[in-house]
Structure 1
Amino acid sequence: MPVFAKNAVFQGLAGAIDCTIDWPDGPLRGWALVLHPHPLHGGARDNKIVTTIARACVQQGLVAVRPNFRGVGASAGEFDRAVGETADMHELVAQFSAANPELADGKWVLAGFSFGTAVAAQLYAGLAQQRQKTPNALILAGTAVDRFKFRDVVVPEDTLLIHGERDEVVPLSESMDFARAHGLPVVVVPDASHFFHGRLITLKLLLQQRLAAL
Structure 2
Amino acid sequence: MPEVIFPGPAGRLEGRYHSQPGKDAPIAIILHPHPQFGGTMNNRVVHRIHYTFHEMGFNVLRFNFRGVGRSQGEYDQGVGELSDAAAALDYLQSMNQNAKHCWVAGFSFGAWIGMQLLMRRPEITGFVSVSPPANMYDFSFLAPCPNSGLIINGAADRVAPPEDTHALVEKLHDQKGITITHEELENADHFFKNDYLDGMIAKVDAYVRRRLTENTR
Alpha-carbon deviation of 1:31? Answer: 1.4
1:95 match: secondary structure: helix
Choose from 71, 74, 85 the match for 2:81: 85
Alpha-carbon deviation of 1:155? Answer: 2.6
RMSD: 2.0
2:121 match: secondary structure: helix
Aligned pairs for 1:109-148 within 5 A: 109-128=103-122, 133=123, 135-144=124-133, 147-148=136-137
1:52 is matched with: 48
1:53 match: secondary structure: helix
Kept after mapping to 2: 8 A contact 1:118/1:146: no
> Residues 25 and 202 of structure 1: is their aligned pair in 2 closer, same or farther, counting only changes over 3 Å?
farther
Deviation digits for residues 85-115 of structure 1 (CA, Å, limit 9, x no counterpart): 111211221232123213xx23221000000
Does residue 164 of the first structure (1) align with residue 164 of the second (2)?
A: no
TM-score (norm 2): 0.86
Kept after mapping to 2: 8 A contact 1:28/1:61: no
**Counterpart Cα distance in 2 of 1:27 and 1:54:** 19
2:16 is matched with: 20
One-letter code aligned to 1:204: I
Alpha-carbon deviation of 1:156? Answer: 4.1
Unaligned runs of 5+ in 1: none
1:44 match: secondary structure: coil
Does residue 34 of the first structure (1) align with residue 30 of the second (2)?
A: yes
**Counterpart Cα distance in 1 of 2:73 and 2:167:** 32
**Counterpart Cα distance in 2 of 1:27 and 1:190:** 40
One-letter code aligned to 1:166: A
Alpha-carbon deviation of 1:157? Answer: 5.2
Choose from 55, 59, 64 the match for 1:63: 59
One-letter code aligned to 1:124: L
Deviation digits for residues 144-179 of structure 1 (CA, Å, limit 9, x no counterpart): 256344872243452200000001211111211211
2:177 is matched with: none
One-letter code aligned to 1:171: P
Among the aligned pairs, what percent are the same residue? Answer: 27
**Counterpart Cα distance in 2 of 1:79 and 1:151:** 23
**Counterpart Cα distance in 2 of 1:24 and 1:190:** 35
Deviation digits for residues 99-142 of structure 1 (CA, Å, limit 9, x no counterpart): 3213xx232210000000111000111124xxxx2x22110000
Alignment: residue pair count: 203
1:106 is matched with: 100
Kept after mapping to 1: 8 A contact 2:106/2:114: yes
Kept after mapping to 1: 8 A contact 2:23/2:96: no
Unaligned runs of 5+ in 2: 174-179, 213-217
Alpha-carbon deviation of 1:72? Answer: 0.5
2:39 is matched with: 43
> Residues 28 and 193 of structure 1: is their aligned pair in 2 closer, same or farther, counting only changes over 3 Å?
farther
> Residues 194 and 200 of structure 1: is their aligned pair in 2 closer, same or farther, counting only changes over 3 Å?
same
**Counterpart Cα distance in 1 of 2:120 and 2:135:** 16
2:205 is matched with: 208
One-letter code aligned to 2:207: R
